[in-house]
Amino acid sequence: MKSKLTGIAALLGFAGAVHAQSSVTLFGAVDSGLLYQSTSAASFNPKAPNLGKVYALNSGGIYSSFWGLKGVEDLGGGYSANFRLQGSFNSSNGKLGLGDTTGATAIFNMESSIGLSGPFGSVKLGRQIAPMAWAMAETDVRRGDYFGSILTAWLGMNQAAGWQGTNTNGPIGSLYESNAIVYTSPGFHGASAQLEYAPGGVAGQFQGGSRESAVLKYSNYGLNLAAFYYNGHDTNPGPTTVPTGLANNRMYYIGALYTIHDFSVSASYSNGKNPSNSNAANLDLYSFGLGYRFTPAFELTSGVYYLKDRNNSTNKSTEVAGGGYYSLSKSTTLYAQVGYVDNRGDMTQMITYGEPVAAGRSTVAANIGMRHTF
C-alpha cells in the first residue's frame, strides 16, 4: 500500500509541475465612440440609394471589440503547445460578430486555433486571422485600423468585386481563414516566412473551397517589408453555389513601413482579381501613409488610399484619413479621427468598417472614442 501511495503522490506531483508550466489568459478589448458620416446606404450595392447623414454610437473606432481565451503549455526543450479562442462583438448592442456564412454569427469568429511552436517555428490549425491581413497591417502607418486604413481600402476592393458585407468570406483575399493550416518560420536576421493551406473539405473536389498563400516579411533597423501571394477557390459563394474548385480569388501585395526616431512613412501596391474571369474583377490599390509620435503617449497618423478598376476607368476611389491617439495608460486610449472618400462610378469604398456609404459620391466621416484592452 505504501508503494502505491508513493506512486500516486509522485504522479500528482508531476501533474502539478506540468500545470505550473501552463497558463490560460482571458483577454480582449472594448472600443466605442461617436460617429458622424455625411452619406449612408443600406448595403454595399452600388444601386443602393443615399439614406443621408448618420449619427451613431459606433463599435470599433480603432479596431473591433473582442474577447477571448488563450493558453500555452511549456513542453520542454524549447517547445510549447498553445490555443487561442477569439471572437468579435458589437459593444453598442452586444451582438456577436459575423460568421463566414451569410446570416450566421459565431462566438469565436476571429480565431479558434490550436498549435505547436519550437525551434522549427510554429504551426497553427483552425480558424485564424489570415497571414495576408497581418502583412498589410504591419506595413501601414494606420495599422489596418477600422477607420480609414489599408483594411477599409482593401474591403473597398472586395466591395467592388461584389462582396456585400454579410459574411467574412470575401471575393478578394481573406481577413479570416477557416480550416487553415499556417506554418511560420523562425526569424533569420529579421526575415521570416509564412505558408498557408486551407483544405475546403468538399466531397469529390480536392480544390473545392480551398485556399493557399505565401507571405515573406523582413523587420529590422526600423524597416518592415512584406509581400504576399494569395489564391482561393470557390470564394464568396452564394446560397446555392456548388463548389467546383474554380480558382476565382487571387491577390498579391508588396508594402513597406519605415520608422526613424518618431517619424513613420509607409507605401504599398496590391492587385486583386478573379483569375477565372478577369472581366469580373481586376483592381489595383495604392497606399501612402505618414505618422509622427510627439510623446510616448500621443501620436498622429494619416493615410491616402487610391483604388481603381482596370476594367472600367470610371470606377475609382480616393480615401484620405487621419487620426490622433492619446494613451491614458497602457490599457486605455482616447482617439479622434476624420476621413474623406471620393467614390466615382460604382465604387462604394467605406471610411469606417461596417458603415456603407453612398455609391459614386464623396463622403466625410469623423469619430471620437475610447478603447480599453484587458
Tens of pLDDT, residue by residue over 252-294, are 999 999 999 999 999 999 999 999 988 889 999 999 999 999 9
Instruction: Concatenate the DSSP letters of all residues of 330-349 into one string.
Output: SSEEEEEEEEEEEEETT---
Cell, residue 105: 454569427
Cα(198)–Cα(98) distance, integer angstroms: 20
DSSP summary character for residue 216: E
Q: What angle do CA 296, 301, 306 make, to 5 degrees?
A: 160
- Residue 209 vs residues 102, 175, 198, 286: alpha-carbon distances, Å: 16, 16, 8, 29
- Taking the alpha carbons at both ends of the chain, their separation in whole angstroms is 49
Question: Does residue 119 contact residue 111 with C-beta atoms inside 8 Å?
Answer: no
Q: Residue 241's pLDDT is what?
A: 75
In this prediction, residue 204 carries a pLDDT of: 86
> Cα dist. 62→11, 275, 369 in Å?
48, 33, 9
C-alpha cell at 159: 466591395
- pLDDT at res. 238: 66
Q: Where are the domains of the chain?
A: 23-41+58-373
Residue 2's pLDDT is 40
For 328, counting Cβ atoms within 10 Å of its Cβ (0-12 exposed, 13-18 middle, 19+ buried), the class is exposed
φ, ψ of residue 263 to 5 degrees: the values are -105, 135
Q: Which of 351, 369, 368, 349 is nearest to 359 (CA)?
A: 349
Q: pTM for this structure?
A: 0.91
Query: Is 2.10.109.10 the CATH number for 23-41+58-373?
Result: no
Q: Give the C-alpha distances (Å, rounded to integers) separating 14 from 77, 133, 167, 179, 284.
A: 17, 41, 46, 35, 58
- Residue 195 pLDDT: 98
Contact between 332 and 355 (Cβ < 8 Å): no
Q: What local confidence, expressed as pLDDT, does residue 165 receive?
A: 86
User: What is the number of other CB atoms lying within 10 angstroms of the CB of residue 94?
Assistant: 9
CA distance 269 to 228: 11
Tell me, what's the pLDDT at 9? 43
Q: How far apart are CA 329 and CA 13, in angstroms?
A: 40
The pLDDT tens digits along the chain (374 residues) read: 444 444 444 434 444 444 447 899 999 999 999 999 999 999 999 999 999 999 999 999 999 999 999 999 999 999 999 999 999 999 999 999 888 888 788 899 999 999 999 999 999 999 999 999 999 999 999 999 999 999 999 999 999 999 988 888 889 999 999 999 999 999 999 999 999 999 988 888 889 999 999 999 999 999 999 999 999 999 877 666 788 899 999 999 999 999 999 999 999 999 999 999 888 899 999 999 999 999 999 999 999 999 999 999 999 999 999 999 999 999 999 999 999 999 999 999 999 999 999 999 999 999 999 999 99
Distances (CA, A) of 180 to 47, 111, 247: 35, 10, 17
